[in-house]
Amino acid sequence: MCGSVADADLIDLSIGLVDGVESEPFPPSVDAFDHEEGAERLAATLRSQGYDVDADDFPDGMGLAWEEVRAIAHAGTHLDAPWHYGPDVDGEPAKTIDEIPLEWCRGNAVVLDFRRKDPGDEISRADIAGALADLDHDLSPGELVLIQTGADELWGTPEYLTDFPGMSAAGTKFLVERGVRVIGTDAYGFDKPFATMGERYEETGDEVELWPAHLAGREVEYCQIEKMANLDALPRRTEVPIVAFPIEIEGGSAGWVRPVAMLDGRGGESGGETA
């Protein structure tokens, strides 16, 4: 990690919760209350407790602004827990999001560039091995791997849901078997798009076409970060210190997360190779 967090250059690798956005199949709903509405609501709360307070009693008639958010835990940038994939992992109970060790969610990241892949393509074990060879990098236990597809450029549009490649089961296992606990992607999903999986299942009748990368988590224990962004803003491809701590939801399958790269200025140009 960086020598001094206070002096680090910070790069936000997330997207937030956006009211009604077309890039979510179940978009968040965000109702905002301004300061005047806040005064009305706070005054009403106090009156319900027996106190004689009106909105006009607040300075300038303004109280506190706030928002009411209704969203699934898989909206926006989020970390999927092993419980999302199934009830157990290799015979052991699967961890929920509140059971994920924070140590898994910090460390050096490796960025693997698959922007050359077409929408609907699968990222294979050979693809990943080749990308690591291109970087002349051997994975170490505890490293995070970030899959760059370029799909984050489509955020805000319906195409964000359909135009991206996805991970394979074999590629996922390849990373986890080398000590990777967290794998991120800048795409909507970790697997191929829904329609691609549906079409392949109808063609073959083979259940392995349905969420294969997710369901690899029933055999190997890992977490995935979906809907990352700004990987092209990183100045290097390896040794990228990041933190990605999820919010705790008791017994939850996922938690919202804001991954942040904390760089010490050793990298070169944006998108460059290892420093």
pLDDT at 195: 96
Do residues 229 and 244 lie in contact, with contact meaning Cβ atoms separated by under 8 Å?
no
pLDDT at 7: 83
Q: Give me 77's structure tokens.
A: 């940038």
Do residues 164 and 114 lie in contact, with contact meaning Cβ atoms separated by under 8 Å?
no
Enter the CATH code of domain 5-20+72-263. 3.50.30.50
Tokens 């209350």 correspond to: 33
Q: Indicate the average pLDDT of the chain.
A: 94
pLDDT per residue over 40-49, tens digit each? 999 999 999 9
Between the CA atoms of 231, 69, 19 and 96, what dihedral angle is there, to the nearest 10 degrees? 40
pLDDT at 2: 47
| Cα distance between residue 186 and residue 190, in whole Å | 9
Of the pLDDT bands very low, low, confident and very high (cuts 50, 70, 90), residue 265 is low
Domain boundaries, the chain: 5-20+72-263, 29-70
| Cα distance between residue 226 and residue 23, in whole Å | 13
pLDDT per residue over 98-135, tens digit each? 999 999 999 999 999 999 999 999 999 999 999 999 99
pLDDT per residue over 242-255, tens digit each? 999 999 999 999 99
pLDDT at 6: 76
Q: Is the pLDDT of residue 269 over 60?
A: no
pTM score of the predicted model? 0.92
